[in-house]
Amino acid sequence: MQKRLLSTRLFTVEHREYPRAGGEPVRRDVIVHPGAVVILPILDERRIVMIRNYRYTVEQELWELPAGTLEPNEAPIDTALRELEEEAGYRAGQMTKMVEFYTSPGILTERMHAFVATNLTPVGQNLQGTERISVKVLDTDEVRRMLVDGELCDGKTIAVLGTYFARGGA
């Protein structure tokens, strides 16, 4: 059983009941999300493009990788190409799937599709009206230090950079 509690442009909140063998059903309030992408833009073996993004929900500017929500009927790779240009101001010559993961599976259905973008060409940002994003090109050693020292607070960025470095990137 599911009952819609709230609908917004980006997500819905549903009260759901899941059957459980030999017991009462499990009841959960679930945020239903269409999914999102995160992009690791690599300029060359020593430089990564990152953004400083002001997040109103936490009232602070965070170091992040470019990312965005899937539009209806939009393939994740198309979202990744669009968001990279909008937020970071780069067009990717190559976009390669890296990994998929759930951002917070205890309460949220959002599945994050991570891509590595290479062969980058600067095209200029195309920000939405409320976005406050600056672009920074960082040396991979500096990004690794930021990751290890806990300077990064954005979960998707930590997950993707951790995966990249664990796989032997830079």
- Which residues are designated catalytic? 131
Task: Residue 83: count other Cβ atoms within 10 Å of its Cβ.
Answer: 21
Assess contact for 51 and 87: CB atoms under 8 A. yes
Three-state SS at 35: coil
The two three-digit tokens of residue 100, written as one number = 């998929």
Distance CA 83, CA 102 (A): 19
First to last CA, the chain: 48
Segment (H or E) for 83: helix 76-83
Task: Describe the crossing of helices 155-166 and 140-148 by its angle, rounded to 10 degrees.
Answer: 120
